[in-house]
Structure 1
């Protein structure tokens, strides 16, 4: 029986789709290898690339990223599954964007002097290159972050387990009249069963993002930190619970906030060997303070942290880390009279807070005017 022209066209289209599906893994794998090979200072291994057309996704399997000039067998990054897909929830907002999920990922930092610990690379660049759509959502499930330093005695080790994090609305797909439309959350378990929680509101559209950060770190048993504390502050603690609270606002390169450490039931603090003098400037004030105040049931303070960064091209993460570390160290610095002065910051008179409130009100007024224009337009059309 002779087939009609329409049938032949359907057969041809089906053949093209089938051939495209068969060849797709080759071209996708080739592109993935090209992107990963372009990361300076790092080498990688990749097990497989799987494609899931029915949900607009593909996955990278068993990705390991190593630092080129290190003989360490443990990868700097290990991710069993990276899922890159269409963010279908954003389609309801008439936006075709992508989301990236890292499943059971591991990130391993080291205390080596020559190690940059990934700060020398903009890791969003390869993520954007791997995702054919603009990335609007990033998710981390059941991750692990570890820090090791084999140069200390004892070796220092600090591990965050059960790391679950997400960053959403990075492209401001969901309309928000506020000035910080994107959000991020992180939760993790620290040594000593401490609970770390971080909430962030941000505007990543700017070259140097605006951020509001709220961090809580609670109920960590310091006995589980024994090796780490021996290695850096050079102290041994028999008993104690540690808490930390921080709120930080970063706007237009200016930073204001506070950091508030709280130590409870501190007992049995003794001095030991410390890390080399040129690397322990911050730890010295911490160990001195704990030794001087170990008889107190509860130690707490609230110290302001401020910073100004004029260069908008610098990386935000290192800047933020330096600001938080400086504030943390200052919280334990001894004053001349031997006590800590309690301070507060980010009150109603704070310059940055005033700017935030002013801009938020401005955005609200703009949103109200927009809605009124739409209402007038709708009434005009109905009449």
Structure 2
């Protein structure tokens, strides 16, 4: 019996040792799992803070191993080279996770969902009071994400512009901003020139509505795109603080709308901007307004009246844009003609005309290539004769 016990002792010791090793590994893994969010938080904040002119603060960082997600809470970016106290970027929650739908298409990519993203811009009398920001702080964050971003979403975002030293103080906002960009890496292997889709909506100055939609291809060094944009029902009196501070006039009443198409292929652009003002009244004479200011408002009001389509009570034009993205050509002559076309022929409508596409630019580029080759034949012959 004692001999059997002696034979079992080494086995029992091995089991006990194995249990100790196993428990130690589990304890180390649990401790590492608890410590990892703090480690990642410190590394991310340190990486952004290395970018000159910016300071990052992060309330908390959570990990979800099962979901393959990292959540940044109360994320802020401040510009350190001015006296503006409000952060340039604030985000309540940034959810960075594996996009599981893309796995069914054979791609391992990520999606980023930002909740209550706020961007803040400021103007002032000096550079110290201005805040325009930049994008250099984004690079460390993108480098921090282990997978390429395929889907990008913003829920309930806001863009704010302020000038608190202006007379009167100016505050303009885009609110309730919703953005969804999908298939950025073409994880679905679409055989299209623009595999990615974009959809954006927002409230403009409380009552107006902004809508942008279209296609993108950001896989190229210079992205291709085909976008439609419209802005409707903007109450011009909501702009009075801005127009008084920057243009020295205000609106008594009126609405603003805008329709735009913009396409870009290989750096060549084509499109138009169609701004339209309706039911506008500028001059509102008040006793405390200086004479020169009253005269200027009268001039502005006269311009609106001269160029107005009287039956529709609309002032507008269509501004064609074309050429290379580095130096696009705005056709001033056509723009002026379109002002009077709106006034005396047919009033423009706040809607996209669907007259611009990538195909238009591609056809123009093909024509240029053909004529360059055609002229090249004669140029080469002349060069050989000389």
Q: Same fold (TM over 0.5)?
A: yes
Matches within 5 A, 1:330-369: 351-352=360-361, 354=363
For the pair 1:305 / 2:321, whether they are aligned, the reply is: yes
Query: For 2:132, which of 117, 122, 130 is the aligned residue?
Result: 117
For the pair 1:231 / 2:245, whether they are aligned, the reply is: yes
Q: 1:206 to 1:6 in 2, by over 3 A?
A: same
Normalising by structure 2, report the TM-score: 0.74
Moved more, 334-343 or 198-207: 334-343
Aligned to 2:6: none
For the pair 1:98 / 2:110, whether they are aligned, the reply is: yes
Aligned to 2:90: 78
Q: Find the residue that maps to 1:61 and give its secondary structure.
A: strand
Normalising by structure 1, report the TM-score: 0.75
CA shift for structure 1 position 122: 3.7
Query: 1:252-298: CA deviations, max 9, x gaps?
Result: 2221101111222122446989xxxxxxxxxxx98874364468412
CA shift for structure 1 position 50: 1.6
Aligned to 1:280: none
CA shift for structure 1 position 338: 12
Q: Find the residue that maps to 1:44 and give its secondary structure.
A: strand
User: Residues of 2 paired with 1:44 and 1:11: CA distance?
Assistant: 38
Query: For 1:37, which of 16, 29, 49 is the aligned residue?
Result: 49
For the pair 1:257 / 2:257, whether they are aligned, the reply is: no
Query: 1:189-228: CA deviations, max 9, x gaps?
Result: 0115110011131111111111111101011111222212
Query: For 1:144, which of 141, 153, 158 is the aligned residue?
Result: 158
> Which of these two proteins has the greater Rg computed from alpha carbons?
2
Q: 1:93 to 1:334 in 2, by over 3 A?
A: closer
- 2:172–2:205 CA contact under 8 A, matched in 1: yes
Aligned length: 333
- 1:235–1:287 CA contact under 8 A, matched in 2: no
User: Residues of 2 paired with 1:256 and 1:169: CA distance?
Assistant: 24
For the pair 1:54 / 2:66, whether they are aligned, the reply is: yes
Q: Find the residue that maps to 2:194 and give its secondary structure.
A: coil
CA shift for structure 1 position 33: 1.6
Runs (5+) with no aligned partner, structure 1: 274-284, 311-318, 359-383
- 2:271–2:356 CA contact under 8 A, matched in 1: no
User: Residues of 1 paired with 2:137 and 2:180: CA distance?
Assistant: 16
Aligned to 2:197: 183
CA shift for structure 1 position 19: 3.0
Q: 1:76 to 1:116 in 2, by over 3 A?
A: closer
CA shift for structure 1 position 97: 1.1
Matches within 5 A, 1:183-332: 183-269=197-283, 289-290=303-304, 292-293=306-307, 296=310, 297-309=313-325
Aligned to 1:128: 142
User: Residues of 1 paired with 2:109 and 2:339: CA distance?
Assistant: 53
Q: 1:183 to 1:288 in 2, by over 3 A?
A: farther
